Amino acid sequence: METVLIIIVVISFLGFVFSIINNKYQLTVIKIDKAEEDIDIYLDKKKGLLERTIPIIKKELKVKEFLKDIEKYNEELNNFDKHNLLKRLYNELFKIIDENEKLLKSDSLMKILEELNDNEEDIIGAIKYYNDSVVGFNQLVVSFPSNIIALFKRYKKLEFYNNEKREIFEILNQK
């Protein structure tokens, strides 16, 4: 009888621990999903703002093509690839502006640039939230006993938006 009681207590304790760890995973997954949704919204807005600069730049500089790679932005790309593409186009825009100061006289372009800067701050915030959530998730995936649940649920470590966070995570794991 005592043995059965001990087994029941142990199984109940393990179920309780499993439940707590599973809830941590679920909360972290919800945070990551929310961050990804926000990033997707901000990236779509950035694309739209960059597209609005194209006719202005073409007209002011009398060029036929500008930011032609924006056509590569589509739903099949993941947020990492969208972010990298738009970051490259964003930098290309500012390089053209730096080389052609007369563009700074365009009120419509300046308004778009202001919106782009505000949007960039939103993207940075959403990426920070995403990366912070991924740190928590990845810690659960590699730590005992939560790594056992990760094994059963087939959770794998997630990627960060930049190498800096990945390096910090690896350093923390070595301790």
Residue 14 inside a domain? The answer is no
CA angle 105–111–113, rounded 5-degree value: 90
The mean pLDDT value for 154-165 works out to 79
Q: How confident is the model at residue 173 (pLDDT cuts 50, 70, 90)?
A: low
Q: Is residue 82 part of a domain?
A: yes
pLDDT value at 147 more than 50: yes
Q: Is residue 148 one of the residues assigned to a domain?
A: yes
Per the domain annotation, does 133 fall within a domain?
yes
Residue-wise pLDDT for 38-94, tens only, equals 999 999 999 999 999 999 999 888 888 888 888 889 878 888 999 999 999 999 999
Measured between alpha carbons, how far is residue 162 from residues 42, 110, 115, 132 in Å? 17, 29, 24, 12
What's the pTM?
A: 0.82
Q: How many Å from the N-terminal Cα to the C-terminal Cα in the chain?
A: 44
What pLDDT score was predicted for residue 165? 46
Report how many domains make up the chain: 1
Question: How many other CB atoms are found less than 10 A from the CB of residue 83?
Answer: 20
Range of the domain at 138: 27-174
Q: Flag whether 86 is in a domain.
A: yes
**Any domain includes 7:** no
- 143: in domain: yes
Rounded to an integer, what distance in angstroms lies between the CA atom of residue 134 and that of residue 160?
Answer: 7
